[in-house]
Amino acid sequence: EVEIPEDHPRYQSLLTRHRIEEGVEKGITSKQGLIAEGRGESFDYLLGEETLPSADAAERAAAAQLLLAEHAVLSVNGNVAALVPGETVALAEATGADIEVNLFGRTEERMRAIADHLREHGATNVKGLAADARIPGLEHERGKVDEDGIYDADVVLVPLEDGDRAEALGEMGKTEIVIDLNPLSRSPRTAAIPIIDNIIRAVPNVTEHARDLADASRDELEAIVADFDREAVLDDAERAIRDV
Ligand code: ATP
Ligand code: MG
């Protein structure tokens, strides 16, 4: 166990790195996931390691969209499971969404390890293991989803998703919410609601907004989604990075 001093100026970043390391050791996170983490960290550094007001607006719109959904699904991969397992369960509870394990490099061992890890953090119904449907346009393994999960969903939260799959889900007519620190990555660029923020900060903040909006009317929720400007969010994050 590595002790990270809480007063270290880069405490959050070190903690994140440590959780990913542990994820790899437990067979939850892939080696590819380690590389993705490094890429994310560099963007977070440039964004000042904090949530931009524009990202907060996206997080509020995401909460409204999840609450409006007929069937929302939160997609979980190896990095998400390592970084925010309990926070993902809390978001599912706050919005009535399902949780589905969905991996770019799918192996049955990793699927099971992640599902177990999520259950240890309070998840009661973890989807993704049935794999009885396919996302059209993707090669067999990469397209596997659950028929009563992502395949059936109208709204999907895909944090740290690969660009190809984000596009394929969009083509299925799903409303996509993507969390990704890189505003230039294809995944947030294809999303209806791109959240340019660290998943560590983003998921709890979407939950907070969802709790705050729990008693809002459908009209209010629809207005939040309608007023949301995805281009402004992407431009603002890019500007913040360029103006460092
Ligand atoms: P594409 O352009 O096809 O989307 P990519 O280069 O983004 O490709 P990915 O493997 O999808 O390739 O990269 C992982 C993405 O996850 C990166 O864009 C990275 O910024 C992002 N990322 C990594 N860690 C985090 C994190 N903790 N929170 C949010 N985003 C993260
Ligand atoms: Mg990407």
Ligand 1 centroid to Cα of residue 83, in Å, is 14
In a domain, 160, yes or no: yes
CATH number at residue 184: 3.40.50.12640
Structural domain boundaries, residue 188: 53-242
Res 94 pLDDT > 60: yes
In a domain, 140, yes or no: yes
Query: What is the predicted pLDDT for the residue at 1?
Result: 56
Query: What is the predicted pLDDT for the residue at 162?
Result: 84
Ligand 1 centroid to Cα of residue 159, in Å, is 9
Q: Is 125 annotated as a binding residue?
A: no
Q: How far is CA 73 from the centre of its chain?
A: 11
- Distance (Å) of CA 60 to CA 66, 74, 104, 188: 10, 16, 28, 16
In a domain, 9, yes or no: no
Place of tokens 């400007």: 229
First to last CA, the chain: 35
User: What is the percent of the chain where pLDDT is above 70?
Assistant: 99
In a domain, 111, yes or no: yes
Ligand nearest to the CA of 164: 1
Which amino acids bring their CB within 6 angstroms of ligand 1?
36-37, 39-40, 43, 83, 160, 162-163, 179-182, 185-187, 198-200
Whole-model pTM? 0.95
In a domain, 12, yes or no: no
In a domain, 27, yes or no: no
pLDDT in tens, 30-55: 999 999 999 999 999 999 999 999 99
Structure tokens at 168: 């394929």
Say how many domains are in the chain.
1
In a domain, 99, yes or no: yes
